Structure 1
Amino acid sequence: MASTLAHCSDLDDLLCCDQQDDRLRDQSPEAPPFCADEPPPPPGWCLSGGADSRIERAWAHWSRLGRPKLIVAPMVDNSELPFRMLCRKYGADAAYTPMLHSRIFTENEKYRSQEFTTCEEDRPLFVQFCANDPDTLLEAARRVEPYCDYVDINLGCPQRIAKRGNYGAFLMDKLPLVKSLVEKLALNLEVPVSCKIRLFPDLQDTIKYARMLEEAGCSLLAVHGRTRDEKDGKKIRANWDAIKAVRESVRIPVLANGNTRHMDDVHRCLAETGVEGVLSAESLLENPALFAGYRTAEWVVDGEKGNSDGKLDQADLLVEYLKLCEQYPVPWRMIRSHMHKMLGEWFKVQPQVRDELNAQSKLTFEFLYGLVDRLGELGVRIPLYQKDSLAAGVSQNGFAASTS
């Protein structure tokens, strides 16, 4: 059963658009030893003891989770429970929730119940908040800590709404406030604090920033390899060299975000940066089976040998997603968004079907299943591809691809 925890009519004005393989583990620094049977840590465990002790506990927690490599990035309105579960089925090891507004989360029960849902199988889980007040953030975090493995602070949202709301990447101009947010959680929660950041234009500023977060009690750091002004991920490549420099400058686990379009990118990123894991966002929205080794036609190089029809396409994935939405209800605006993301290429071939969807002021599952059937009747099929070595169902991360 899904556990629900809270939607305002002006939600769109409040939220912005921000995501155990031994062979792969060998590319990462060795975690300190830990006792698998040790009891849960007390509040403030992130800051108790000396620096070495805090670092050991950060790594011990990460190891208890299995040191996940393939992670669904936080995406407003798009990394909700049904989508997370779909991505987990197809290889994701861990996932972030959508960004939650800490003040609204503490004040509005409807927002809590609609915007944050989870279930027993939805782990490891990062719950992400935007915030600019330590006490409000702590109140919100305490509501979710029994249901997650990290409480994450969004320090990377670059959109104008974040500037107006004084959160996300615009807190990079207010480092004492950022430090107080991290310390407040680290001193008072029973789960670790993680942070997701963007780069400063100057690399040394980024390194100082990362070290400050670590000293304040951050136990895991996700680095989006673009600056606050570099918003267009399709035109601006993420800076993996900068991510590597951050990873080499701190002692806590580091994750990389940016340029993850298919599993070849995942392997290159892990090798070039030495990070613990890789986040994907936009690419997963189009292809939730990315971590199982599937790729869209856009990323099949012309003339490249060894790629074949994976016998799976976005319409198949969409039907699975809709079934999960029936099991774990979410607001219709989220479902509508995923329809457009997963069927975008199909709609280019049959735009009248897209227009049909857009004309619906109120959606039903019957209509959406019927829309997918119509595309099939019209002969539309745009397959996902796999490398031939994966045709037997083994994903590029070394695991059997989960399709059950």
Structure 2
Amino acid sequence: MMAAARLSFSDITALAPMVRVGTLPMRLLALDYGADVVYCEELIDIKMVQCQRVVNEVLETVDFVAPDDRVMFRTCKREKDRVVFQMGTADPDRALAVARLVEKDVAAIDVNMGCPKEYSTKGGMGAALLSDPDKIEAILKKLVTGVSKPVTCKIRILPSLEETISLVQRIEKTGVTAIAVHGRFKEERPRHPVHCDYIQAVAQAISIPVIANGGSLDLVKTNSDIEEFRKATGTSSVMLARAAMWNASVFTRQGPLPVEKVMEEYLKYAIRYDNNAFNTKYCLCQMLRDKVESPLGKQVQAAQTNADISEAYGLQDFYQQTLEQLQTRRGALQSSSQPDRPIMDGDVTTMAVKFERREYPPQITPKMFLLEWSRKEKLEQPQYETVQRSQDRAFQSTVTVAEKKYRSSLWEKSKKFAEQAAAIVCLRILGIPEGRIGEEDSGLVCKRKREGRMNGTTEEDVSKKRHVADILHSTETSEPTVVANGDGHKPTTPEKPPESPEQLTL
């Protein structure tokens, strides 16, 4: 049963891996139009191995997120059984680590051995591997024996047919499932004719499926040309790059569709799945081709956000509706969280808690209660460390009390609210009153503070004075102090509502 479920590379038409093109919107579009298999763009192992796998419930995707919060690879259930993850690597152990990171979310793993661009070859990756068959063998064997999914590779042809045949026969012995062959030499570019005879010789020399690549422009312009390219190379399968980039409807037998329609469908996917705006621009400009200097092309080039691009294509309503849907889903997910179950995240105790201001009297906050309790227990005052998430400018705070850390797993709209949420987590874990309306008076905060007056001064003013005093004390002692800000302090970053789907990633 396991073998039957594995992705087949026989008699398929595939979207080739293309840097800056093969992201989720283009892959889904290719599947819509009839592609059997879709490859992601080449992703470098050094970057991927640092990523964290994150289930994005708002977008309904699985994201692999780098330490700087960039999403390096995003996929979804729709393509799970047909997407091939292509990596750039020159290290067997690192290749295996990346493959194991992504294997349960993809259908197969591919190693790039054909890219002639410097960003790939300078690290010994891509086409640079072609001159090191021992390393090729080591990488592929490590992957074949180390992961549960099919392993493939993509190569370019070598200077002689004999060398090419010798290499692919050696690759076949590693146990890979298929080989994609770009029918050009390492130094050749798309303007050079593709060597169909080399690809045909490879297909005859090995028993595993061979995927022909490199036929765009010269040989494949429409869907009917795909079968001709398959026959000319003697392969079981064909892989398309530029022909699909220019108009993904090349995969449909009813096509080609007008490129304007294809661009609109692509943009809808880009909006729906929060595609990086500059990546979206790049792909649309590739589709525009010689019309890139048209009024539409200039408007796309000038766009800075997906909202701007949507306006260029008259999709403002679709953009706004999608934004609202994602916001609604995000709110529903947060409200359905279980706030009463503490979870350890490293050395931090977390709970899914939000600070709801209406649940507390005007002059009372959880931070105030935590501060007063710490003083009563003769502990150092609580210390707050707050971070801001780049995609939606939301905040999350960690409070340290008695050398233990507490944090809400939910993100807040302001630094102030994030600190209050962290204080709530700490108070609830420790079983300390937090001052909510209807809560029995604990005596932690005196009556004058509850009434908001202390010698004619509001608690807000008192907090400000304490804040200034703490800073002065810190300056005098030259010791850094993290100040427990009172409610009267404005957040260091202005509160802004989300403006685009890019800001809705959980």
TM-score, normalised on structure 2?
A: 0.56
**Equivalent of 2:211, from 228, 252, 255?**
255
Q: Which residue of structure 2 lines up, in the alignment, with residue 114 of structure 1?
A: 71
Flag the 1:121–1:356 CA change in 2: closer, same or farther, 3 A: closer
Percentage identity across aligned positions? 28
Q: Which residue of structure 2 lines up, in the alignment, with residue 363 of structure 1?
A: 305
Contact 2:44–2:89 at 8 Å: present in 1 too? yes
Contact 1:318–1:339 at 8 Å: present in 2 too? yes
Contact 1:82–1:324 at 8 Å: present in 2 too? yes
- In the TM superposition, residue 347 of structure 1 has moved relative to its aligned partner by 3.1
Q: 109-118 or 154-163: which moved more?
A: 109-118
The 5 Å alignment of 1:223-372 reads: 223-231=181-189, 233=190, 235-259=191-215, 260-293=220-253, 312-348=257-293, 350=294, 352-360=295-303, 362-365=304-307, 367-372=308-313
Contact 2:9–2:237 at 8 Å: present in 1 too? no
List alignment gaps of at least 5 residues for structure 2: 53-64, 316-506
Q: Which residue of structure 2 lines up, in the alignment, with residue 15 of structure 1?
A: none
User: What is the identity, as a one-letter code, of the residue corresponding to 1:333?
Assistant: F
- In the TM superposition, residue 68 of structure 1 has moved relative to its aligned partner by 4.8
d(CA) in 2 for partners of 1:91, 1:216: 31
User: What is the identity, as a one-letter code, of the residue corresponding to 2:138?
Assistant: S
Deviations 1:210-254 (A, max 9, x none): 0111111211100000010012x1x21111111010011011111
d(CA) in 1 for partners of 2:245, 2:32: 14
Deviations 1:24-71 (A, max 9, x none): xxxxxxxxxxxxxx2x26xxxxxxxxxxxxxxxxxx676x64845211
Q: Which residue of structure 1 lines up, in the alignment, with residue 408 of structure 2?
A: none
Please say if 1:104 is aligned against 2:60. Answer: no
d(CA) in 2 for partners of 1:226, 1:274: 16
The 5 Å alignment of 1:78-97 reads: 78-97=21-40
> What is the DSSP-based 3-state SS (H/G/I as helix, E as strand, rest coil) of the residue aligned with 2:122?
helix
Please say if 1:137 is aligned against 2:95. Answer: yes
d(CA) in 1 for partners of 2:77, 2:284: 26
d(CA) in 2 for partners of 1:265, 1:190: 35
Contact 1:68–1:93 at 8 Å: present in 2 too? no
d(CA) in 1 for partners of 2:11, 2:278: 30
d(CA) in 2 for partners of 1:172, 1:276: 23
Q: 200-209 or 332-341: which moved more?
A: 332-341
- In the TM superposition, residue 346 of structure 1 has moved relative to its aligned partner by 3.1
Flag the 1:329–1:288 CA change in 2: closer, same or farther, 3 A: same
Q: Which residue of structure 2 lines up, in the alignment, with residue 220 of structure 1?
A: 178
- In the TM superposition, residue 354 of structure 1 has moved relative to its aligned partner by 2.8
Q: Which residue of structure 1 lines up, in the alignment, with residue 403 of structure 2?
A: none
d(CA) in 2 for partners of 1:254, 1:159: 23
Q: 195-204 or 334-343: which moved more?
A: 334-343
Please say if 1:193 is aligned against 2:151. Answer: yes
List alignment gaps of at least 5 residues for structure 1: 1-37, 42-59, 296-309, 375-404
> What is the DSSP-based 3-state SS (H/G/I as helix, E as strand, rest coil) of the residue aligned with 1:334?
helix
- In the TM superposition, residue 294 of structure 1 has moved relative to its aligned partner by 6.4
User: What is the identity, as a one-letter code, of the residue corresponding to 2:84?
Assistant: F
- In the TM superposition, residue 330 of structure 1 has moved relative to its aligned partner by 2.1
Deviations 1:111-134 (A, max 9, x none): 396221112221312110010111
Deviations 1:62-114 (A, max 9, x none): 6x648452110001110111111111111111110111111110114433962
> What is the DSSP-based 3-state SS (H/G/I as helix, E as strand, rest coil) of the residue aligned with 1:226?
coil
Q: 271-280 or 247-256: which moved more?
A: 271-280
Q: Which residue of structure 1 lines up, in the alignment, with residue 57 of structure 2?
A: none
User: What is the identity, as a one-letter code, of the residue corresponding to 2:233?
Assistant: T
- Number of corresponding residues: 296
- In the TM superposition, residue 170 of structure 1 has moved relative to its aligned partner by 0.7
For the aligned residue pairs, the C-alpha RMSD in angstroms reads: 2.1
Deviations 1:170-228 (A, max 9, x none): 11111111110001001111112100000001011000110111111211100000010
Contact 1:114–1:330 at 8 Å: present in 2 too? no
